[in-house]
Amino acid sequence: MSILDCKNALAADVCRVIADKYPQAAVTEEEIAGMFEYPPDAGMGDLALPCFKLARALRSAPPKIAADLASAFDGDGAVETAEAVNGYLNIKVSSAFLRDGLLPEILAEKENYGRLHTGDGKTAVFDYSSPNVAKPFHVGHLGSTAIGHSLKLIHEFAGWKTVAVNHLGDWGTQFGKLIVAYRRWGDKAEVEAKGIDELVALYVRFHKEAEEHPELEDEARAEFTRLENGDEQNIGLWKWFIALSIEEYKKTYAQLNIEFDHYTGESFYVDKVGEVIDLLREKDLLKVDQGASIVDLEEYGMPPALILKSDGSTIYAARDLAAAIYRKRTFDFSRCVYVTSAQQSLHFAQIFKVLGLMGFDWADQMVHVPYGTVSIDGGKLATRTGNVVLLKDIFARATEKVKGIMAEKNPDLENADEVAEAVGVGAIVFHYLSNSRIKDINFVIDDVLSFEGNTGPYAQYTYARCASIIEKAGGVPADADFAGYEPQEPEKALLLELSRFPEAVADALASYEPMVITRYVLSVCAAFNRFYHECRIVGAESGEASKFRVSLTAAVKQVIGSALHLICLKTPEKI
């Protein structure tokens, strides 16, 4: 039984006491379960119920409430002790409860331990990563990609059916610029050989040349107009640029173990915008302002949503509306999640409001998950100036660093290159997801590539250490009976950490925050390494202790493995 189960059971007990001693009060088990806290000091207990939160409902003083509740627990079941202290009900969870309930459950359920069923029967669509075609996959894309994929995995772990959509930026005047640059300075063989790197070089050159020759901007707009009008040569170049880009992006996705269900970029929705415009006019929502067509959102505290430019052409807001309608019809989602920079928060607030005004009652199923900006050594990223750090280059540097460390510590390791990439790439992703997603991040490369302290390599190494211990012990005991074994304090502390995994998943799901899982992993690793140093595992003081500790190690390995998977990290058995 997890700590979530324990809280629910305790909440039921508390409600029974309240019904008996405070019959006038109306408090639900769900409310009580949500009030439990973790004391800052383990000496105060494993769980605490702050009774001042009940004072108004129960019309009594917190110390008296705590005393009344404490008297109802006699040491049976999950509770070892219940003590009233300064208005708090402090509870110590029984070691036997963890030993006989939790540990066998983890060993039996394996990868299913911690799974929730809150999403059973529901579909969630995730729009994430979404780089602009013919531009590099740089460190600035890591946020949308890692956060988005982690949230997708967390939803799957909670029972949701998920659909991963890569909404490529594959439409717009930048393609006019690239077509002009390619025709003026490009070489087909060079582009085929260098791929997206050469396309980026051409794009950067266009902007440099345009500073001296601004007429190039007009030429680019004209070429994009030809593309919009179906010019065969321009469409051919455009499709080529897209194919080269996706081929390059898939290499990075493979390193991150990511696959998308659909690559449907902006261009996919161009022919679907007409219906959106018709619906907006039908609802009398489109208004003309200085020649442009807008939806007035002043009443809702937002600036107008621009739908059509003054020349009648659409912009990405119209395509986003078309995409939302298409996805609802196609996937019948219960939740549609967009993972983009916080700079687009207003845009999505406008889109969701317009959908509601259009009469779509599913508009409240749309979710924007914002994240902070990324800079490199304090410098802003900008493709047009060439100021980017490619994600593949950071991954390569991290992988080479891991190779060097492994060559010293484990020179005979099989699949060394594969393991080095898993650990190197994992270090970058873990570093990013260790922070709150809304926080702006300045990637200082030396810090990112430091593997000391609370890092991805530390977590992966702890997982591998568990695997090594289990192998050395000859496997997990199949006939282990722990009923007579009394766990020592480090063992109980570790069991408590393992019991919190389903709660961590629930918290990450509710807050759309992978950092919850990242920090949970570090807590488990810290508890395990304390246990490892204080308790002999293989060859322990008794066969009973050894069986228990090897089984506990297997449970730790399972939980760390599941948690690392949820934050996009691989789990090598040997490092």
Which residue numbers are catalytic?
Answer: 135, 138, 141
State which H helix or E strand residue 84 sits in: strand 79-85
| Adjacent-strand bridge partners of 79 | 93
Number of other CB atoms surrounding residue 542 within 10 Å: 9
Count helices and strands in the chain by DSSP H and E runs: 24, 12
Q: Is 290 left (phi over 0), alpha (psi -120 to 50) or beta?
A: left
| Adjacent-strand bridge partners of 48 | 37, 90
Integer CA distances (angstroms), 328 to 106, 122, 279, 336, 367, in order = 37, 13, 16, 8, 13
Output the CA torsion sign for 209, 212, 215, 218: positive
Burial of 495 (0-12, 13-18, 19+ CB in 10 A): buried
AA identity, residue 137: F
| Adjacent-strand bridge partners of 93 | 79
Looking at the chain, how many residues does it have? 575
Long-range contacts of 219-225 (CB under 8 A, 24+ apart): 219/176, 219/180, 220/173, 220/176, 220/177, 220/179, 220/180, 221/173, 221/176, 222/176, 223/175, 223/176, 223/179, 223/180, 224/172, 224/173, 224/175, 224/176, 224/179, 225/176
Q: What angle do CA 436, 439, 443 make, to 5 degrees?
A: 100
- β-pairing verdict for 305-308 and 292-295: antiparallel
**Closest CA relative to residue 277, chosen from 230, 304, 310, 312:** 312
- β-pairing verdict for 441-443 and 286-289: unpaired
State which H helix or E strand residue 288 sits in: strand 286-289
Burial of 335 (0-12, 13-18, 19+ CB in 10 A): middle
State which H helix or E strand residue 78 sits in: none
d(CA 145, CA 309): 31
d(CA 432, CA 263): 25
State which H helix or E strand residue 398 sits in: helix 391-409
d(CA 413, CA 285): 65
Burial of 197 (0-12, 13-18, 19+ CB in 10 A): middle
**Closest CA relative to residue 348, chosen from 317, 309, 308:** 317
Sheet-wide strand order for 47-50? 47-50, 88-93, 79-85
